[in-house]
């Protein structure tokens, strides 16, 4: 008998940004898993889930986002094996992930590995509020109006990709740029897109920072950093 795997988006950090549907999925699951890095520190998904469920209900699975591709693969396989043990017993397993489970999420890797091993397992997701939406709200930024278009990209895709996006899209959201913030802002300045851009770090978490991106010049950000660029794009009507 095969169980059900549910990826639950728990929002970017503020425990109140977990949806009612997400909370219900967590409460009704036979087992609730949260990813944990190799330092063992409580991650954002776990911190949010802990606000809503008893600690004894939460199972931690090692899911270190190592830079080493082989180590990452080992971690995904290990996590999938652990969750699969419960799925094989026909259980419903919820896996909590920050933001939305279909946006740059650890859940995608887990689901792929589980599906390969157990094609009969049902896989579902419950959407979550993304960091992009939370930053727009906290900074009073309108993301899109009328015919405008939005590009969401990780800075790990490279400077050129950000340059292209800033030259083509009215709104550009940059994830995963924390430690390379001076480079992110350098690209934006060259493209004339720094004015009006907002930077948000640790949204909904102690130590939250929401400031004009220009104020970050020369500073590095944390891993949980997001930048939204809005405003005029030269050459676009
Ligand atoms: C692996 S991605 C996860 C994205 C997430 N699934 C989502 O839907 O927003 C991690 C990136 O999301 C952004 N992020 C997630 N939570 C955040 C927070 N609380 N504050 C600022 N940025 C955050 C950062 O850009 C971070 O580098």
Q: Residues 17-72: pLDDT tens digits?
A: 999 999 999 999 999 999 998 777 789 999 999 999 999 999 999 877 666 778 77
Q: How buried is residue 194: exposed, middle or buried, by Cβ count under 10 Å (0-12/13-18/19+)?
A: buried
Q: What is the DSSP letter of 156?
A: G
Q: How far is the CA of 105 from the centre of ligand 1 (A)?
A: 9
Closest to 134 measured CA to CA, from 26, 210, 185: 210
Same domain, 28 and 72: yes
Per the DSSP assignment, residues forming a β-bridge with 200 are 210, 226
For residue 33 the two structure tokens come to 């898993």
To 5 degrees, how large is the angle CA 68–CA 156–CA 220? 100
Q: What is the average pLDDT across 105-132?
A: 94
Domain presence at residue 208:
yes
What pLDDT, on the 0 to 100 scale, is given for residue 73?
78
In this prediction, what percent of the chain has a pLDDT beyond 70?
96
Atom of ligand 1 nearest to the CA of 200: 21
CB-defined site of ligand 1, < 6 Å? 12-13, 98-100, 103-105, 130-131, 175-176, 200-205, 223-226
Q: How many separate domains does the chain show?
A: 2
Helices (H), 29-130: 44-50, 69-88, 106-117
Higher model confidence: residue 49 or residue 109?
Answer: 49
Same domain, 122 and 26: yes
Instruction: For residue 73, give its domain range.
Output: 4-126
Confidence of residue 234 (pLDDT cuts 50, 70, 90): low
């Amino acid at each position: 008998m095969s169980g059900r795997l549910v990826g639950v988006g728990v929002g970017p950090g503020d425990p109140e940004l977990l949806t009612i549907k997400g909370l219900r999925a967590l409460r009704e699951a036979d087992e609730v898993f949260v990813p944990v890095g190799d330092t063992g520190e409580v991650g954002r998904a776990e911190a949010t889930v802990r606000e809503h469920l008893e600690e004894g209900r939460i199972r931690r699975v090692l899911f270190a986002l190592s830079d080493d591709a082989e180590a990452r693969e080992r971690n995904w396989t290990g996590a999938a094996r652990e969750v699969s043990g419960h799925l094989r017993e026909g259980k419903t397993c919820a896996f909590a992930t920050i933001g939305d489970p279909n946006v740059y999420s650890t859940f995608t890797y887990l689901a792929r590995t589980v599906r390969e091993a157990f094609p009969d397992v049902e896989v579902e997701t419950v959407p979550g509020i993304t960091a992009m939406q939370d930053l727009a709200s906290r900074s009073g930024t309108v993301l899109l109006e009328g015919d405008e278009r939005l590009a969401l990209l990780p800075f790990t895709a490279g400077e050129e990709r950000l340059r292209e996006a800033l030259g083509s899209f009215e709104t550009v959201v940059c994830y995963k740029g924390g430690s390379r913030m001076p480079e992110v802002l350098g690209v934006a300045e060259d493209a004339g897109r720094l004015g009006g851009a907002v930077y948000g770090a640790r949204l909904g978490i102690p130590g939250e920072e929401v400031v004009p991106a220009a104020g970050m010049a020369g500073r590095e950000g944390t891993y949980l950093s997001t930048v939204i660029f809005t405003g005029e794009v030269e050459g676009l009507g």
